[in-house]
Amino acid sequence: MTLPIYFQKLEQQLEAQLPFVAYRHPNSDELHLQLQQDAKLEYLENFQQEGFVFAPFDDQQNTIFFDRKKAEFSKLNYAAEELISEKTTSTTTFETTLQQKNFHENLVEKGVEAIKNSALEKVVLSRKQVLVVKTQPIEYFKRLLKNYPTAFVYCWYHPQVGLWLAATPETLVKTQNNRFKTMALAGTQVFEGTTDVSWGEKEKEEQAIVTRTIENALTTIEGIERLQISEVHTHRAGNVVHLKTDISGVFLKDSLAEIVTSLHPTPAVCGLPKQMAKEFILKEEAYDRTFYSGYVGELNIQVEKPRNPRKRNVENSAFNLIERQSNLYVNLRCMQLLENKAMLYIGGGITIDSNPNAEWEETLRKAETMQKVL
């Protein structure tokens, strides 16, 4: 398959109103394409299934599942120069109303008050920004691929649900056989040409809450061992930078469901304590997040690995040929496309030291990730 044929297949599938997902992992030059053969809407039944999942923020709602076995699946290696899009950046701007600004700043103030007066330590508050655009999903997908090589970039469609695109910097969990990796990502500032930056106490604490919570959640899961937690470092995500801690370990084969349910939604998108923050969000945000801050990606994909020639044990090397992988990402820096409309979803972590105006500004900066490709 060539790159033009890859995008042509996407166009045809969209025209036929059949579900699909096209995606690329971070720092990879391999494009994936999963085309479903019928328009049935299926939900995930258990974490043993092999396919692509699309989970909402609210973990009480169903996760959408694209079964790999019922799909046409292909991969394609590409070089960034081959991605010819009409233009790679846009001049589209959006106007925010005073009402939107006031609502968000008010929401942040309520969050800070709740933190001061209750057991709530952190809550992530978000909003939706609607932009009038030409609806060109495949073109936007190309631009996302070109602009954000270090992000997980996808274009997902189901006729009964809609069309979503994202370039997310955040991994929920990645597994390879019995090894797993996750991350604590939080704290934001504008990228000014270097990742050698200093961070304020508010951002450090906001991110440390995420690391502590993930560590606590993982240590309660039976069979998790060799937990490794890296130093905090600065990670670039397009026009912003975040604080990041890498976390890894080994786990028991059957505990993936437990890992995902104990992590999602992490305090990078919900808060601490989880249930209290979630209730605050559902009550106060005044809009439905749907799939924003949910998770998205491959579940139990079988990947063929070349044999290790240095391994003497023939039985072992034959056994190691197929590896099971899951690659789940948090659905951030995302948008939903409707007829002539793009809905951008953006949020930020609120702690006791949050400033409402700075939080509003932060949503504007984060919105630029998607705005840039429209």
CA gap 65, 88 in Å, rounded: 31
**Do 277 and 120 form a contact (C-beta atoms < 8 A)?**
yes
Segment interacting with ligand ISC, rule: CB under 6 A, options 81-89, 103-111, 252-260, 347-355? 347-355
Q: Name which of 71 and 281 has its Cβ closer to ligand ISC.
A: 281
Return the number of other C-beta atoms located less than 10 Å from residue 215's C-beta: 14
* 366 near ligand ISC, judged by CB under 6 A: yes
* 336 near ligand ISC, judged by CB under 6 A: no
* 242 near ligand ISC, judged by CB under 6 A: yes
**Interface residues for ligand ISC in 213-232 (CB under 6 A)?**
none
* 263 near ligand ISC, judged by CB under 6 A: no
CA gap 301, 324 in Å, rounded: 5
**Do 56 and 289 form a contact (C-beta atoms < 8 A)?**
yes
CA gap 10, 136 in Å, rounded: 12
CA gap 108, 361 in Å, rounded: 12
Residues in binding contact with ligand ISC, number by CB under 6 A: 17
CA neighbor of 254 nearest in space, from 292, 221, 297, 210: 221
CA gap 251, 235 in Å, rounded: 26
Q: Build a one-symbol-per-residue string for 104-143: x at contacts with ligand ISC by CB under 6 A, - elsewhere.
A: --------------------x-x-----------------
With residues binned 3-state (H G I as helix, E B as strand, rest as coil), the percentages for the chain, rounded to 5, are: 30, 35, 35
CA neighbor of 228 nearest in space, from 252, 206, 245: 245
Count, residues in the chain:
374
Q: Name which of 172 and 224 has its Cβ closer to ligand ISC.
A: 172
* 346 near ligand ISC, judged by CB under 6 A: yes
Segment interacting with ligand ISC, rule: CB under 6 A, options 158-166, 175-183, 185-193, 255-263? 185-193
* 331 near ligand ISC, judged by CB under 6 A: no
Segment interacting with ligand ISC, rule: CB under 6 A, options 194-202, 249-257, 319-327, 343-351? 343-351
Indicate which single residue of 68, 158, 333, 372 sits in contact with ligand ISC (rule: CB under 6 A): 333
* 183 near ligand ISC, judged by CB under 6 A: no
Binding site for ligand ISC (CB under 6 A): 124, 126, 170, 185-188, 242, 268-269, 332-333, 346-349, 366
